[in-house]
């Protein structure tokens, strides 16, 4: 059989899924979105984001007491269930969206801690690793879709990029905060103050800080918000 005969034809499922912006595997099981699946970035958004981040932090720490198999398996199970709920919806659904954000906060914290505590990668190394991964996701997303706007998250492919970015952001927040608190000896309280200050000055840096409207959620401000919230939660757990 020639190589040409093995390529998908003009009307093949693979070509149709690609044209519709669907991910080949996901698109066979879940429907395509009919509207944007990202909430508006308003005050309530940040309140819920803080709560899910802090909840994910303490939940991950609690699950660690059950070891890598018990606790880690639970984290993976929650993450899979949340992914199914989110990708099964065709438009923004608050419960599905925030449940996945909560599950990612748990898994992102757990994986980042696993790389340090079990694989023995220094905090500086995990920080660099997740920063490189986040940059690579941004670059790939821009290259593939031509936009990083959160308002354009109306296809499965863009939604997959979006949630991959969120996951890398959570993991980077964990690694960066542990690096400042432990490796630099700042402690969680001082780290919380530092990241809150950095977060507060982000708006003053101007709209050119990071291209695209994604900057208000899944880039530097989000990493800082995530790390500040985790620092506050960690400080409270040690007092």
Q: Could you read off the pLDDT of 26-82 as tens digits, one per residue?
A: 767 788 888 888 888 778 887 888 888 888 888 998 999 999 899 999 999 999 999
Q: How confident is residue 95, by pLDDT bands cut at 50, 70 and 90?
A: very high
What percentage of residues in the chain have a pLDDT greater than 70?
73
d(C-alpha 120, C-alpha 115), whole Å: 6
Are the beta carbons of 110 and 60 closer than 8 angstroms?
Answer: yes
d(C-alpha 17, C-alpha 56), whole Å: 34
pTM of the model: 0.78
Q: Domains of the chain: which residue ranges?
A: 39-237
pLDDT at 211 over 50: no
Span 80-105, average pLDDT: 94
For residue 154, the tally of other CB atoms under 10 A from its CB is 16
How buried is residue 139: exposed, middle or buried, by Cβ count under 10 Å (0-12/13-18/19+)?
exposed
Nearest to 139 by CA among 130, 126, 148: 148
pLDDT at 209 over 50: no
Side-chain half-sphere CA neighbours of 223 within 13 A: 23
């Amino acid at each position: 059989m020639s190589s040409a005969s093995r390529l998908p034809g003009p009307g093949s499922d693979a070509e149709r899924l690609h044209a519709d912006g669907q991910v080949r595997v996901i698109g066979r099981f879940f429907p395509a979105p009919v509207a944007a699946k990202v909430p508006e970035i308003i005050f309530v958004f940040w309140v819920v984001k803080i709560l899910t981040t802090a909840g994910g932090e303490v939940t991950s720490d609690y699950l660690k007491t059950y070891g890598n198999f018990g606790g880690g398996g639970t984290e993976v199970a929650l993450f899979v269930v949340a992914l199914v709920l989110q990708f099964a919806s065709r438009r923004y659904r608050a419960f599905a969206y925030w449940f996945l954000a909560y599950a990612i906060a748990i898994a992102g914290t757990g994986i980042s801690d696993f790389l340090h505590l079990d694989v023995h990668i220094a905090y500086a190394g995990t920080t660099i690793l997740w920063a490189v991964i986040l940059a690579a996701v941004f670059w790939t997303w821009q290259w593939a879709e031509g936009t990083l706007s959160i308002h354009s998250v109306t296809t499965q492919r863009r939604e997959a990029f979006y949630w991959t970015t969120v996951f890398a952001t959570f993991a980077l927040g964990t690694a960066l905060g542990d690096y400042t608190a432990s490796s630099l000896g700042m402690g969680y309280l001082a780290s919380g103050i530092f990241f809150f200050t950095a977060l507060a000055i982000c708006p003053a840096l101007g709209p050119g800080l990071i291209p695209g409207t994604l900057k208000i959620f899944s880039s530097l401000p989000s990493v800082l918000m995530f790390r500040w919230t985790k620092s506050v939660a960690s400080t409270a757990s040690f007092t």
